[in-house]
Structure 1
Amino acid sequence: MNLVFQKPTMLVKQRGFTLVEIMISLALGLIISGAVIQILVSNSVTDSLNRAVSTTQESGRFIVTRMRQELMMVGLYDALNPNLSQFVDTVEEESFVRSHPVPVPGDFVTRVALGALQGSSGASDHLVVSMQGTRDCRGYKLGYAADEEFYVVNEYFVEDNKLKCRGFDGRVLRGQKPATGHNGHAAFTLLDNVLSFQALYGITDPADVNGHSRPVRYVDASQLTAAYAANAQVVTLRLAIVIKGDGEVFLDQPATFKLLNENPITAPDNGMYKAFETTITLRNMRNFARGSA
């Protein structure tokens, strides 16, 4: 009889995680998840901030460049220019334009209120300028032929937090011709999200008989009429503008700005705001001695 011996079966004991190990794993997972979420939130905030800063810088550079290009031509008038529309007395018109590079209320018979205005209680200013040109600030010819130049008057102002411009035919404003072409005087928006727009005017010394273009002091629009009466002339412009950036950015506290000669202003919210300032020399007023016109 053959006996067969079987090897005893070994029982393997299975061992799981202890409660302490599970709790440690959960705690580590929470810490890692919290760190990842914090990084994502931080990246989102940084991206919003960068976008707000970028859009504010781009808007500021755009409007400063555009305003500089347009305003450098203030006071321009060449009565001998063959493209200048000639149906008025261009010699008299040249004297008027050069004596009123920045018109004030009362200068125009058909729109008496039009002129540079100082904003009350820190409100934005109205800037109005004169020059010879081919189009107004909106790009309109106002009824003139394609190659004709005429007396252009442009107005810049803030409405509903938008910087806008409106153009006029100076001859219509002076009652020398009826309005033609795009004379609805609709304002075009140049820039959105504008908190404040301020202007100062550099004037010459009335006693300087040589007609030098060096400004001796800066005045606001409320002082221009008296300056003109004293035979001073506007030869430079200082502009300041505060722009709000795009994006959901909330600073610790609202920003405060001191623009030109104005009292400090505080932003209405905690968003990203930035101020831009520029000084523009009116090169067409250089060495022009203002007369009594």
Structure 2
Amino acid sequence: MTSRHSQKGFTLIEVMISLALGLIISAAIIQIMVSNSVTERLNRAVASTQESGRYIIARMRDELLQVGLYDRLNPNLSDAVDVVEEESFVRNHPVPIPGDFAARLELGAAQGADGANDILVISLQSDRDCRGYKLGYGADEEFYVVNEYFVSGTSLKCRGFDGRFLRNQKVAVGHNAHSAFTLLDDVLSFQVSYGTTDTTINGTQALPTQYIDASGLEGAYNAGKQVVSIRVAIVVKGEGEIQLDSAAQFKLLGEDVITAPDKGLYKAFETTVTLRNMKNFARGRT
């Protein structure tokens, strides 16, 4: 006896419905994957800007806190020059300006035009410059250090000098070739302003009465004012190919508005550092 088994399959409508559902599910999965990728890139860019900004602000604060430091009674201070006269020079030139140094007349704090990057130069007593170099001094010796911070291309850099070399008191030794070290890449803007005090007004407080840019430092010094605080603002770019809806704009420390060159993720960081050494010196002059 022969038995017949009926065979059944999917109808065309069922196949089309299945394909449509599959396409919808696939599209949703792809969208989720794309969204996750964008989110991951954004998170990486945000994290990199935060890391870069916090690092450079912390470093700048540590170094700026020492501006104007000079202790001629320190046994480690090299006494190859008149330290009393040198102390007076450092105290009265905590932020050097062009013309202060005979060996390098152009060296000094400078204001960038129309929102361009500023140049920061500081004086202090230390055992090494901002690059970590001893500049020919002994392992424990301290000396007059001049550090310069500036932007080249998109990199924030520093270079250090022996202040005694700059003042024509000794020849250059060690790493006085003055090559610059990179502190941070992907920098869009570096701006600096200076809080000055007039001891005849503030008495023993030595608080800043106004903030000026580098172009006003010479006039402030000539008027008997002192720099007692420094504000630093910097804009850094995050890693990755993030594309925002529009290019970011920033207005730092009263400067002209700057616009990012692309639609990447940029973030501004700012800090104000009180120069304790200069505040104490200003109080002593009252």
TM-score band by shorter chain is over 0.9
How far is the alpha carbon of 1:287 from its aligned partner?
Answer: 2.9
Equivalent residue runs for 1:189-208 within 5 Å:
189-205=182-198, 207-208=200-201
Residue of structure 1 equivalent to 2:281: 288
Residue of structure 2 equivalent to 1:37: 30
Equivalent residue runs for 1:1-293 within 5 Å:
8-205=1-198, 207-208=200-201, 210=203, 212-289=205-282
Could you list the runs of 4 or more consecutive aligned residues of structure 1 that deviate by over 6 angstroms after TM superposition?
none
How far is the alpha carbon of 1:12 from its aligned partner?
Answer: 1.7
CA distance in 2, matches of 1:22, 1:94: 90
How does the TM-score come out when normalised to structure 2? 0.97
Report the residue type matching 1:11 in the other structure: R
* Larger proportion of helix: 2
CA distance in 2, matches of 1:35, 1:70: 52
Q: Who wins on radius of gyration, i.e. which is larger?
A: 1
Preserved CA contact (<8 Å) 1:210 1:287: no
CA distance in 2, matches of 1:15, 1:33: 28
How far is the alpha carbon of 1:214 from its aligned partner?
Answer: 0.4
CA distance in 1, matches of 2:9, 2:141: 93
Residue of structure 2 equivalent to 1:5: none
Identical residues among aligned pairs (%): 68
Residue of structure 2 equivalent to 1:4: none
Preserved CA contact (<8 Å) 2:199 2:282: no
Preserved CA contact (<8 Å) 1:210 1:289: no
Preserved CA contact (<8 Å) 2:203 2:283: no
How far is the alpha carbon of 1:211 from its aligned partner?
Answer: 5.5
Segments of structure 2 that go 5 or more residues without pairing to the other structure are none
How far is the alpha carbon of 1:124 from its aligned partner?
Answer: 0.4
Write out per-residue CA displacement over residues 54-111 of structure 1, whole angstroms, 9 at most, x where no aligned residue: 0100000100000000110000001111110001110110000000000000000000
CA distance in 2, matches of 1:190, 1:50: 23
CA distance in 2, matches of 1:118, 1:89: 32
How does the TM-score come out when normalised to structure 1? 0.95
